[in-house]
Amino acid sequence: MKLLRYGPPGQEKPGLLDAEGRIRDLSAHVADIAGEALSPAGLARLKAIDPASLPLVEGTPRLGPCVAGTGKFICIGLNYSDHAAETGATVPPEPIIFMKATSAIVGPNDDLEIPRGSTKTDWEVELGVIIGKTAKYVSEAEAMDHVAGYCVINDVSERAFQTERHGQWTKGKSADTFGPTGPWLVTADEVPDPQNLGMWLEVNGHRFQDGSTRTMVYGVRHLVSYLSQFMSLRPGDIISTGTPPGVGLGQKPQVFLKEGDEVTLGVEGLGSQRQRVVQG
């Protein structure tokens, strides 16, 4: 299934994408794409519904973030060896964990705001993992049982805030609009191998990132198990798993986003995003 949320910000309704690419309204069956709806039982109930029986949503409504009720937005740094190399860093012996504020989460096609004082706003196409069942101290063998599905993430980053000022990376990752999420949550049963997905990102039609989750250092199974040793992962939590090479920081000369730019990105089988860059 491809689950989604549509409507104005803060008023999104739950829906799904049918086989013809049309939005169907799920409001009569579930309050939101959140919480218990993401559990194995909740997803099974939704899967049993005939999409043709659901009301068709007319027009082209705004798509909101594909999951609601996210308590934690956990990101993994330097998780592609070739990306680490382009930034002059070494592959870490354990996953680098940092948090992105949940207030950064927006829809996949919402405007991307350059924060005030920014000089180095950058892009990062990433595979997002959405937790469906609480995970605490789970083994790698059990890890995938806790994944509801996957989505596209743009882990937008302000590099000067992130690395040139004191403190942790979080302040360079958490500005409003720095977490475009969606367009839809593709349930895990439709993604048999999350470690074999192509991914790409373009700015103004120029392709900067063209990679694959095959080159991920620490895969989804390991990350879910690893993170669950340090914190409980709960339904709706998002893990953004790192980016392949091609970020603006790694260009020679470096390239960063400016007002008026258009960013498009996608992950194989998970849909695509499009953001217009505006000044915040």
Could you list the mean pLDDT of each consecutive 10-residue stretch along the chain, which spans 280 residues?
A: 98 97 97 98 98 97 98 95 74 92 98 97 98 98 98 97 85 97 98 97 98 96 98 98 95 97 98 97
Can you give the residue ranges of every domain in the chain?
65-279
Question: How confident is the model at residue 115, as a pLDDT?
Answer: 97
Residues 180/249, Cβ–Cβ less than 8 Å = no
Architecture of domain 65-279: Alpha-Beta Complex (3.90)
Bridge partner list, 200: 210, 266
What's the predicted TM-score (pTM) here?
0.96
* Distance separating alpha carbons of residues 144 and 132, to the nearest angstrom: 10
187 backbone φψ class: left, alpha, beta (φ>0; ψ -120 to 50): beta
**Is the backbone peptide bond immediately before 14 cis, with ω within 30 degrees of 0?**
no
Residue 121 identity:
T
| CA angle centred on 136, ends 133 and 138, rounded to 5° | 90
98-120: buried (b, 16+ CB within 10 Å) or exposed (e) per residue? bebebebbbbbbbebbbbeebeb
Question: How confident is the model at residue 163, as a pLDDT?
Answer: 83
From residue 209, alpha-carbon distances to 125, 170, 176 in Å are: 8, 23, 23
DSSP 8-state assignment for residue 88: T
Q: What torsion do the CA atoms of 221, 249, 70, 276 make, to the nearest 10 degrees? A: -130
* Distance separating alpha carbons of residues 116 and 2, to the nearest angstrom: 36
Phi, psi of 257 (to 5 degrees): -75, 150
* Distance separating alpha carbons of residues 186 and 129, to the nearest angstrom: 10
